[in-house]
């Protein structure tokens, strides 16, 4: 993986490909390359490092009228020029880019190596080009169709052949691929952001589908060459949404966008008259929701932390047993699937490989799986049994911020809906709705403290280890705060329940390991204060996020970030903001690449 762009048309292909790859930088990558064709002549350019280095290689030339490009996030072989995509066949007639993993590539390579053929890279991708050349008998679509059943694993590929200038063949299995339709030009990409500057007409490929494009049209078909009629959909995002708009980084912009993104997440989904929530995309009747006896939320990374909070809230408000599970573990533990359990998968991109596989495993066993995702047309959106869009708008920074709080907003609406069908009173329902509606205002007030939080980052960014500690619903927030810090600043950080500190982590406490405590005004406040004092007694430095007016915390902690008062269950929304900002400013102080941190990819499409 990570990003694919293909183009056939009247514009210089190199310009379109490089601009598309630039739009895909946010996905994370370690090398980039393009292959452009003019007639049956190809020019292949690829380079380890950033796209600006590939740009320097291209120079001021405008090359080709069709071609393919790729940004690579290494899975097989180190990041270098040789392993960068595109890859070629032995003769160079076939050129290919690939997202995903070919699990049986070593076995396939041996067949060619035994006949004396030499591979130029350490990747799992190069062998596909060799295989397509071997199968080619004058028709590229047929050659690709012949090869695909021999591949085990996941792929999104785009292929060109010197004998068929102006044509690109794409195929998808487990890795996203979208077709963009223009006037006398066609686009292929792994993400709509790569083509949004040129068209808003898109066709999303499903697994097992192929597409062949030229500048004048396209054909979608399956492995048996059966034509598939696809619906042309409109891309809902605007180009300006994927621009920085005056902010230094996308992450900074997206932290500040939470004022609006949270509002969009519950807009039209709260009903004050009946004091409940409504998520129409669930495709479930009230009596079906009433029959739910258990809720399981499956997710990875940041989405898993949101799922933990959602499960806590569903159990607290609706009195339904609920849990969050790491989607990467679901598939391999032979889960017990019950007919009266409701399963949710949560993913910003809707393409997270682990979460997709978890969804399919539950569906295979007869379970109903609903999706919560941000990207329209994503695989989870298409394959789930119902679901809800977050409406966060594009999230470009690799480290998720606004998608996390939007996921929370949707999960809160879900919990409210389930609770009002059961035991929650209309008065308590209204209290939750009112608290949700004023969250944007409270978030805005926290964002006015950026200077204070930046000063704390200046004070603490040289420390090499941090503990993040919270209780109850704020324990997952502590985990998320630690994740953000390690993701973008590369400072080692761990998130724990504050109650667990005495069961091991307290051994790490000294004057060189600051502890970041989350201290809302809730039932567990006094217990968290006790944990803070335990750290203080061992000369540990304390940073606290506390509620305005809590002077006791100021007397214990070395530094305090204050947040507005809210209803007890709403604190996760407000507690997470200071941790996001602290991580952001620490990364800035350390000179990190905030939007594209090392080794990470935005959309993890491999297991």
Beta bridge pairs of residue 209: 172, 222
**Quick one: DSSP state of residue 206?**
P
Percent of the chain with pLDDT over 70: 97
Q: Taking residues 251-264, report their average pLDDT.
A: 94
Return the active site residues.
Answer: 2, 602
* CATH 3.40.50.300 assigned to 2-235: no
pLDDT score, position 62: 81
Is the Cβ–Cβ distance between 414 and 277 less than 8 Å? Answer: yes
pLDDT score, position 606: 55
Is the Cβ–Cβ distance between 513 and 483 less than 8 Å? Answer: no
Task: Pick the closest to residue 362 from 349, 343, 381, 385 (CA basis).
Answer: 343
pLDDT digits (tens, 9 = 90+) for 446-487: 999 999 999 999 999 999 999 999 999 999 999 999 999 999
CATH class entry, domain 445-595: alpha beta
Structure token digits, residue 325: 């599970």
Which is it for strands 168-173 and 153-161: parallel, antiparallel or unpaired?
Answer: antiparallel
Which is it for strands 178-181 and 368-373: parallel, antiparallel or unpaired?
Answer: unpaired
Is the Cβ–Cβ distance between 107 and 126 less than 8 Å? Answer: no
Residue 53, H or E segment? helix 51-58
Q: In whole angstroms, what is the distance from residue 381 CA to residue 131 CA? A: 33
Task: Pick the closest to residue 524 from 473, 453, 593, 579 (CA basis).
Answer: 473
Structure token digits, residue 352: 């997270």
Residue 197's CB: how many other CB atoms inside 10 A? 12
pLDDT digits (tens, 9 = 90+) for 189-204: 988 888 888 998 999 9
Q: In whole angstroms, what is the distance from residue 485 CA to residue 488 CA? A: 6
Q: In whole angstroms, what is the distance from residue 433 CA to residue 437 CA? A: 6
Q: In whole angstroms, what is the distance from residue 426 CA to residue 411 CA? A: 19
SS (H, E, C) 25-36: HHHCCCEEEEEE
pLDDT score, position 212: 97
Percent of the chain with pLDDT over 90: 67
More confident: 578 or 267: 578
pLDDT score, position 28: 66
Residue 214's CB: how many other CB atoms inside 10 A? 18
Residue 561, H or E segment? strand 559-563
Q: Taking residues 211-236, report their average pLDDT.
A: 92
pLDDT at 1 over 60: no
Using DSSP's 3-state secondary structure scheme, residue 512 falls into coil
User: Which residue is listed with tokens 């939750």?
Assistant: 432
243-437 CATH fold: Rossmann fold (3.40.50)
Least confident of 38-42, 69-73, 596-600: 596-600
Delimiting residues of CATH 3.40.50.10490 domain(s) in the chain: 243-437, 445-595
Residue 438, H or E segment? none
Is the Cβ–Cβ distance between 469 and 496 less than 8 Å? Answer: yes
pLDDT digits (tens, 9 = 90+) for 43-59: 999 888 888 888 888 88
pLDDT score, position 240: 61
**Quick one: DSSP state of residue 177?**
-
**Quick one: DSSP state of residue 295?**
E
pLDDT at 284 over 90: no
- Whole-structure pTM value: 0.77
Beta bridge pairs of residue 7: 67, 187
pLDDT digits (tens, 9 = 90+) for 24-44: 876 667 888 999 999 888 999
Q: In whole angstroms, what is the distance from residue 185 CA to residue 183 CA? A: 5
Delimiting residues of CATH 3.60.20.10 domain(s) in the chain: 2-235
pLDDT at 417 over 60: yes
Give every strand in the sheet of 153-161, ordered side by side.
87-88, 94-102, 153-161, 168-173, 209-214, 217-222
pLDDT score, position 59: 84
Q: In whole angstroms, what is the distance from residue 381 CA to residue 373 CA? A: 7
């Amino acid at each position: 993986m990570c990003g694919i762009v293909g183009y056939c048309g009247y514009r210089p292909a190199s310009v379109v490909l490089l601009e598309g790859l630039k739009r895909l930088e946010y996905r994370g990558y370690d090398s980039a390359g393009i292959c452009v064709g003019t007639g049956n002549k190809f020019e292949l350019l690829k380079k380890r490092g950033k796209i600006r280095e590939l740009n320097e290689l291209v120079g001021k030339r405008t090359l080709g009228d069709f071609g393919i490009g790729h940004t690579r996030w290494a899975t097989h072989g180190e990041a270098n020029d040789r392993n960068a995509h595109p890859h070629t066949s032995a003769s160079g007639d076939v050129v290919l880019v690939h997202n995903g993993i070919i699990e049986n590539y070593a076995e396939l390579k041996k067949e060619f190596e035994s006949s004396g053929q030499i591979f130029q890279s350490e990747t799992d991708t190069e062998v596909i080009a060799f295989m397509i050349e071997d199968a080619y008998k004058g028709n590229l679509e047929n050659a690709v169709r012949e090869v695909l059943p021999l591949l085990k694993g996941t792929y999104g590929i785009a292929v060109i052949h010197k004998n068929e200038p102006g044509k690109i063949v794409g195929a998808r299995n487990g890795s996203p691929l979208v077709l963009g339709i223009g006037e006398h030009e066609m686009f292929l990409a792994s993400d709509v952001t790569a083509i949004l500057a040129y068209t808003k007409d898109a066709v999303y490929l499903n697994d097992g589908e192929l597409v062949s494009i030229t500048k004048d049209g396209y054909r979608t078909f399956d492995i048996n060459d059966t034509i598939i009629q696809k619906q042309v959909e409109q891309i809902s995002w605007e180009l300006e949404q994927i621009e920085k708009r005056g902010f230094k980084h996308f992450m900074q912009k997206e932290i500040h966008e939470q004022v609006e993104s949270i509002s969009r997440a519950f807009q039209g989904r709260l009903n004050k008259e009946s004091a409940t929530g409504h998520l129409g995309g669930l495709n479930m009747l009230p009596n079906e929701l009433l029959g739910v006896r258990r809720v399981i939320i499956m997710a990875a990374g940041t989405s898993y932390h949101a799922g933990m909070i959602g499960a806590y809230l569903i159990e607290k408000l609706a009195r339904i047993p609920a849990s969050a599970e790491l989607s990467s573990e679901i598939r391999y533990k032979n889960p017990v699937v019950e007919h009266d359990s409701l399963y949710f998968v949560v993913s910003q991109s809707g393409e997270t490989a682990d979460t997709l596989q978890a969804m399919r495993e539950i569906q295979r066993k007869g379970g109903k799986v609903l999706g919560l995702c941000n990207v329209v047309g994503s695989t989870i959106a298409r394959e789930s049994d119902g679901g809800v869009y977050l409406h966060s708008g594009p999230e470009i920074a690799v480290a998720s911020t606004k998608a996390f709080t939007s996921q929370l907003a949707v999960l809160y609406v879900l919990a409210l809906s389930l609770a009002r069908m059961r035991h929650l009173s209309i008065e308590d329902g209204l209290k939750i709705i009112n608290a949700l509606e004023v969250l944007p205002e409270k978030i805005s007030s926290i964002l006015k403290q950026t200077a204070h939080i930046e000063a704390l980052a200046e004070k603490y960014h040289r420390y090499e280890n941090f503990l993040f500690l919270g209780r109850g619903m704020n324990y997952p927030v502590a985990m998320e705060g630690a994740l953000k810090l390690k993701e973008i600043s590369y400072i080692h950080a761990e998130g724990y329940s504050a109650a667990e500190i005495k069961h091991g982590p307290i051994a790490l406490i000294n004057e060189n390991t600051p502890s970041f405590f989350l201290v809302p005004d809730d039932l567990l406040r006094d217990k968290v204060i006790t944990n803070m004092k335990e750290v203080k007694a061992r000369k540990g430095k304390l940073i606290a996020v506390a509620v305005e007016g809590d002077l006791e915390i100021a007397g214990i902690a070395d530094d305090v970030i204050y947040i507005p008062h809210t209803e007890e269950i709403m604190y996760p929304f407000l507690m997470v903001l200071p941790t996001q900002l602290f991580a952001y400013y620490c990364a800035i102080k350390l000179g990190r690449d905030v939007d594209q941190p090392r080794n990470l990819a935005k959309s993890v499409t491999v297991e």
